[in-house]
Amino acid sequence: MEKITLSNGFRIMLDYVDWARSCTMGIWVGSGSGYEKESSAGFSHFIEHMIFKGTPTRSAFDIATQMDEIGGALNAYTTKEYTCFYCRSLTDHVDKAFDILGDMVTNPRLDEEDIKLEKGVIVEEIAMYEDNPEDLCLDTFYENAWSGDALGRNILGSRGTVNAATAQGLREHMSEFFVPERMVVSFCGCFDKDRVIEDCEKYFGSIKPTNNPIKKRQAVFTPFIKTVSKDFEQNQLILGLKGVGADDENRYACALLCNILGGSTSSRLFQRIREELGLVYSIDAFNASYLIGCIFAISKGLSKKAEEQALKEVFSILRDYPQSITLEELHRSQEQAAASLVMGLEATPARASRMGRSELLFNCVEDEDKIIENFRSITIEKIRAAAQELLRLENTALCCVGRVNKSSFYSDIIKNR
């Protein structure tokens, strides 16, 4: 792995894999919903869409057909902390694929007619997420847990901010966030090093830095109870607490805790609440880690009539969890974490993604063997202490969507946990 920095601060991450016959390349931009103003909520995601609408020299159809002509794959996604534009091609076509990608990201047309058309597409996307119990519950949870903070806003924005978007507004957003200090490109696979550096210099070397790097801050977690009545066949419920941050020294212990608790079919929550009691179809535990906030949560899909017993069982497991974690569970989780990391990084898209995201957010890429060592060095005493610190149940937040009970029903269960 090699890092090259252009004179303007733009970073290039290179991972040459000699056995590969393709290359994955991506551009990571520190533009996400967590950094947006209230008036520009959803602009990062809107720009993600508009990047595909054409440049002065390529129409949207040109972009699609030219990538298809070389058998390449092209896509993008937006998160709360960054937007990623990426593609993959055979080694013979890396130059062409990156030429398309670089042109798209640095020279989007942002035509007003295209923007008008895409507003309807994004509004439909918002409606689609609102019709999905898991997405609606998670978005509502974030909105209330980080109430008043940009991190809590929907990545898609609102219908109001989407419909108010203009070409000028999107350009202003890009001029603030699509800058060298908030951008990283990564290449993983088989490629010509000198040529890709030359191509990066062509598209990104002349962009002027603005002294607007990604800065760490902390969104305040607020306990709450929120219900959303929707005519879903199944309720979706999330219990949550303040979690462990993406750069916290306890992040490895927290990952193991999540896995033991609800990260696999052998986990405590899955075995007790699904397999033994049959109260849910799905249940899992996760830690949503960001530089600017974090949440530890348990998510489950279940019927309204099963909610009381399921919630009481979850709290029963959580109360005893810190001191009842066994060595067998710890060792099993450590091997699962190591295997997941190693197997995942045998694919060039995962390696490219890890390089781009890590360099963008943390200014470094942690060594794979060091990560495995960090997982395997967690002792039973350390993981129990981490669980004790994490599971402060007096600060529990809850969100439920579907054919919900009254808020008092949930608050009584939490009080009597």
Annotated catalytic residues are: 48
* Per-residue DSSP letter, 403: S
- What are 191's two structure tokens? 């490629």
Chain centroid to CA 188: how far? Answer: 21
Identity of the residue numbered 212? N
- What are 260's two structure tokens? 């033991």
- What are 310's two structure tokens? 């399921």
Q: Give the whole-angstrom CA distance, residue 207 versus residue 217.
A: 26
Pairing of strands 280-290, 83-90: unpaired
- What are 221's two structure tokens? 């977690």
Q: Which residues contact 216 (CB under 8 A, 6 or more apart)?
A: 247, 291, 292
Closest CA to 287 of 266, 267, 261: 261
Strand order in the sheet with 397-402: 225-229, 397-402, 235-242, 293-302, 280-290
Question: Per 3-state DSSP, what percentage of the chain is helix, strand, and coil (rounded to 5)?
Answer: 50, 20, 30
| Residue 74 · residue 87 · CB < 8 Å | yes
Q: What element of type H or E holds 178?
A: none
Task: State phi, psi for 191 to the nearest 5 degrees.
Answer: -155, 165
Q: Which residues contact 159 (CB under 8 A, 6 or more apart)?
A: 123, 126
Q: In the beta sheet, which residues pair with residue 11?
A: 5, 184
Task: State phi, psi for 29 to the nearest 5 degrees.
Answer: -125, 130
- What are 366's two structure tokens? 């942690």
Identity of the residue numbered 241? L
Identity of the residue numbered 147? S
| Residue 140 · residue 226 · CB < 8 Å | yes
Identity of the residue numbered 311? L
Closest CA to 270 of 232, 233, 310, 309: 310
